[in-house]
């Protein structure tokens, strides 16, 4: 019940979660970890975004900067050049567009171009980003990104317990005393002793041998590892850990780009913020410290946004899989999905093709991890996740539709407009009604009367017979639309390119509205964008609901006054 009651307000759109929502990943970059360069061209990106919408994606997440491990930061101007044409084109087609950026200038420009969501991988830790979103109406995604989001932690290369520290201090004092005694002896004897006797050695815990020097303090100990057994990247990571200012030693376009520095360390498989490499008695580390950090940050940032003036129903949270986290930590976080869902915000599962998915599935190539991704996403959905962010939107839509049909009985109300002006018009409409009733997981619950109307848009043709059918269905909108198109084909509707647009037809079926559904794209728009100007739709709807004009205005549809509409009703032709 709590899962169903959540809503997410994103600009002019309001998403309900009576079913999970699919966010398709659209990387307009040359270097993304799984599809780098495939959609770098704006036209290719737009085409792919529309294809994802037509395949079942509810949201398109457009990003112009790869944040894969080891990524190279992108200048905000270049990022904007990549993403803005794509955002503008998809928004024009009615898509709910998310802009995946950490730069406030890019977020502002994208929202002006029609983006409805700002997905900030740094979790709105930039006060300028907070200042911007509080003055807009867009939805926001707060993501946890490892050290970027969490308080800074210092990691010692070697940690000694109290007894070991005392042991080292005692050995240091002994070495200093020995050196002082040697200095008081004759020079000849001291030289002979130094040349003929071995240097005293101090043993540290773990078998590390520490040479004692004849003068001064002993050299600091190092971890026991041979260069032959340690990869060069790990040696560099260890050297960076010892350095007093790690970010200063790494080449980056922006010296204070903490996200880039963290993801470079992640590329070297360094523990990011919760050390889990010690020997353990259990397969996974303790979840408590990990979840305190992740959930604490998400809660704190959400509250900070609310206090700044962002309404609670605009906020979504994302634990940020793969961002500064080990595979063990990512699994721990995914297993605690129910706890994160209990915070009350819409919860995103953004695990698609991540390294930890490869670790648990044994799949090395990122682009081959979609099946494993679907399995992890299913576990998250069962535990309360509301949105899944995936690269393969078409494949996941099929996967989700199959699972949802069996696991979640959920009839929803919808309206289908029916029209005909060729052949026996009323018989065509009744035949369509009977065939709709035969669609799987669908029933006809009510029908309007059949009305005669003037032709709309293309006026040089015969008058139309029109009606609206109310149905209940458990099918996804695009699946239902495909079934309606099959009925049109069986009843002789010509949808080929040679057919005149808005010309004569034996049958025309339009999916007008479905409970809880908002959709954009070339194939389907929900609610239907032309409802508000069609008298031949609004008048039959009056037989099925009270004040359809008010109903659709509430759902964000502009409804014209009767005299300004097209296809006016001129008479009744009888009951269905």
Query: Average pLDDT, stretch 512-523?
Result: 95
Mean of the per-residue pLDDT values of the chain: 83
Q: What domains does the chain contain, in order, with CATH numbers?
A: 2-151+281-406 (3.20.20.20), 169-211 (no CATH), 411-574 (3.30.70.560)
Running DSSP on this structure, what letter comes out for residue 462?
P
pLDDT of residue 191: 47
pLDDT of residue 486: 97
The residue among 562 and 37 whose pLDDT is bigger is: 562
125: tokens are 């830790």
The residue among 552 and 323 whose pLDDT is bigger is: 552
- Whether 515 has a pLDDT exceeding 90, the answer reads yes
pTM of the model as a whole: 0.77
Band of pLDDT at residue 211, cut at 50, 70 and 90: very low
The residue among 232 and 16 whose pLDDT is bigger is: 16
Query: Average pLDDT, stretch 315-336?
Result: 94
- Whether 6 has a pLDDT exceeding 60, the answer reads yes
Task: List own/partner pairs for 270-276 with CB under 8 A and 24 or more apart.
Answer: 270/237, 270/241, 271/155, 271/326, 272/146, 272/147, 272/324, 272/325, 272/326, 273/146, 273/147, 273/150, 273/153, 273/324, 273/325, 274/329, 275/155, 276/326, 276/328, 276/329
pLDDT of residue 555: 86
- Whether 173 has a pLDDT exceeding 80, the answer reads no
- Whether 224 has a pLDDT exceeding 50, the answer reads no
Separation in Å, CA 557 to CA 168, 217, 255, 552: 76, 79, 48, 5
pLDDT of residue 500: 86
224, 228, 225, 230: which is closest to 205 by C-alpha?
A: 224
Highest mean pLDDT: which of 72-86, 193-207, 268-282, 296-310? 296-310
Band of pLDDT at residue 154, cut at 50, 70 and 90: very low
- Whether 247 has a pLDDT exceeding 60, the answer reads no
Of 10-14, 107-111, 168-172, the least confident: 168-172
Band of pLDDT at residue 570, cut at 50, 70 and 90: very high
pLDDT in tens, 453-480: 999 999 899 999 999 999 999 999 999 9
């Amino acid at each position: 019940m709590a899962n169903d009651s959540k809503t997410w307000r994103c600009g002019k759109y309001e998403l309900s979660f009576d079913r999970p929502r699919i966010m398709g990943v659209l990387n307009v970059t040359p270097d993304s970890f799984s599809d780098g360069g495939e959609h770098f061209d704006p036209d290719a990106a737009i085409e792919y975004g529309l294809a994802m919408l037509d395949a079942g994606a509810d949201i398109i997440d457009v990003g112009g900067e790869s944040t894969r491990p080891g990524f190279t930061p992108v200048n905000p101007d270049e990022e904007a050049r990549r993403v803005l044409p794509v955002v503008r084109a998809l928004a024009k087609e009615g898509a709910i567009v998310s802009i995946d950026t950490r730069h406030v200038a890019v977020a502002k420009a994208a929202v002006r171009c029609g983006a409805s969501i700002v997905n900030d991988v740094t979790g709105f830790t930039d006060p300028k980003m907070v200042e911007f979103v509080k003055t807009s109406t867009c939805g926001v995604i707060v993501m946890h990104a490892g050290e970027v989001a969490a308080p800074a932690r210092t990691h010692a290369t070697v940690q000694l317990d109290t007894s070991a520290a005392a042991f080292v201090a005692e050995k240091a004092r002994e070495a200093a005393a020995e050196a002082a005694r040697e200095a008081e002896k004759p020079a000849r004897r001291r030289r002979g002793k130094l040349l003929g006797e071995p240097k005293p050695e101090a043993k540290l815990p773990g078998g590390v041998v520490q040479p004692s020097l004849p003068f001064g303090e002993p050299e600091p100990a190092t971890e026991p590892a041979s260069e032959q057994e340690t990869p060069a990247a790990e040696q560099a990571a260890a050297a960076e850990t010892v350095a007093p200012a790690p970010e200063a030693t790494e080449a980056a376009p922006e010296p204070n780009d903490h996200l880039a520095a963290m993801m470079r360390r992640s590329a070297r498989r360094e523990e990011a913020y919760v050390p889990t490499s010690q020997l353990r008695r259990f397969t996974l580390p303790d979840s408590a410290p990990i979840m305190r950090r992740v959930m604490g940050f998400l809660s704190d940032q959400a509250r900070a946004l609310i206090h700044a003036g962002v309404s609670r129903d605009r906020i979504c949270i994302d634990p940020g899989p793969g961002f500064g986290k080990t595979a063990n930590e990512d699994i721990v976080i995914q297993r605690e999905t129910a706890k994160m869902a209990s915070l009350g915000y819409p919860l995103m599962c953004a695990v698609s093709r991540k390294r930890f998915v490869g670790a648990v599935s044994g799949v090395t190539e990122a682009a081959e991890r979609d099946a494993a991704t679907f399995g992890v996403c299913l576990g998250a959905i069962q535990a309360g996740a509301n949105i899944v962010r995936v690269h393969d939107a078409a494949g996941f839509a099929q996967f989700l539709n199959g699972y949802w049909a069996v696991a979640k009985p959920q009839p929803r109300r919808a309206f289908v407009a029916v029209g005909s002006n060729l052949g026996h018009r009323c018989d065509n409409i009744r035949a369509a009604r009977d065939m709709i009733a035969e669609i799987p997981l669908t029933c006809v619950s009510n029908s309007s009367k059949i009305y005669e109307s003037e032709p709309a848009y293309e006026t040089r043709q015969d008058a139309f017979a029109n009606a609206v059918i109310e149905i209940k269905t458990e099918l996804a909108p695009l699946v239902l639309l495909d079934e309606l198109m099959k009925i049109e084909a069986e009843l002789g509707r010509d949808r080929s390119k040679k057919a005149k647009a808005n010309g004569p037809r034996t049958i025309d079926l339009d999916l007008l509205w479905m409970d809880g559904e908002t959709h954009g794209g070339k194939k389907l728009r929900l609610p239907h964008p032309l409802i508000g100007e069609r008298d031949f739709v609004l008048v039959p709807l009056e037989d099925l609901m009270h004040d359809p004009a008010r109903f659709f205005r509430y759902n964000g549809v502009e409804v014209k006054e009767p005299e300004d509409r097209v296809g006016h009703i001129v008479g009744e032709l009888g009951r269905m």
